[in-house]
Amino acid sequence: METVVTIRSAAVEDIDIIHSLVHKIWPDAYGDILSAAQLAYMMQLIYSKPSLKKQIEEQNHRFLIAELNNEPVGFASFSAIAVPGIYKLHKIYVRTDIQGKGLGKALIDEVIAAIKPANATALLLNVNRHNKAKTFYEKFGFTVIKEEDIDIGNGYFMNDYVMEYLVSSI
């Protein structure tokens, strides 16, 4: 059977899909990095249905959903930031049981294809300093430009690298 990968734009109507994917992906992605309490706090803070709706409707985050044979298996979100030409990849997650099939790359390629016509010069992202995804981003061409510790409330911090991908005009 042929494997069919589709990347599509998401809307408010897709919040349930994104929410469901988070509950499948985050415990595997962060279970060894964050305490169970911080994991639950961050999932509620960032991925509750009202928070996702706010990101789409008020913060102008554009979400993409990756599907494998019509089954949602990952997602990404991105937006412009206050600096002209600079975009932020806020989220990119693929179910751990199907990583390595090119879906993460397909999501990033789609983000870059979407921002290039808007004269993007760089795509930034944050990655936890202990997350093995850093290697994936480096293979794609992202480089670490700084470290930052972000207070997210409740006594928790995100201890991240900020990585940058320079978008070529080619």
Instruction: Give the model's pLDDT for residue 27.
Output: 94
**pLDDT surpasses 70 at 130:** yes
* Cα torsion through 49, 53, 59, 61, rounded to 10: 90
Q: Are strands 86-94 and 122-128 parallel, antiparallel or unpaired?
A: parallel
* pLDDT above 60 (res 170): no
Q: What is the mean pLDDT of the chain?
A: 95
State the residue for tokens 């480089």.
143
Q: Which amino acid is at 27?
A: P
Residue 81 has pLDDT above 80, yes or no: yes
Question: Is residue 4 scored above 90 in pLDDT?
Answer: no
Query: What pLDDT shows up at residue 1?
Result: 57
pTM of the model: 0.94
- The answer, yes or no, to whether residue 13 has pLDDT greater than 60, is yes
CATH classification for the domain delimited by 5-166, as one of 3.40.50.1980, 3.40.630.30, 2.60.40.10, 2.40.50.140: 3.40.630.30
Task: From residue 29, give the alpha-carbon distance in Å to each of 82, 112, 123, 127.
Answer: 29, 24, 22, 12
Strand partners, 92: 76
pLDDT band, very low/low/confident/very high, at 167 (cuts 50, 70, 90): very high
Query: What pLDDT band is residue 21 in, cutting at 50, 70 and 90?
Result: very high
Angle at CA 96, nearest 5°, toward 25 and 68? 95
Q: What is the pLDDT of residues 135-154, one digit of tens each?
A: 999 999 999 999 999 999 99
Give the tens place of pLDDT for each residue, 48-63.
Answer: 999 999 999 999 999 9
Of the chain, the percentage scoring pLDDT greater than 90 comes to: 93
165 phi, psi to nearest 5 deg: -120, 125
pLDDT tens-digit profile of 84-122? 999 999 999 999 999 988 999 999 999 999 999 999 999
Give me 92's structure tokens: 């990119």
List the chain domain ranges: 5-166
What pLDDT, on the 0 to 100 scale, is given for residue 116?
Answer: 95
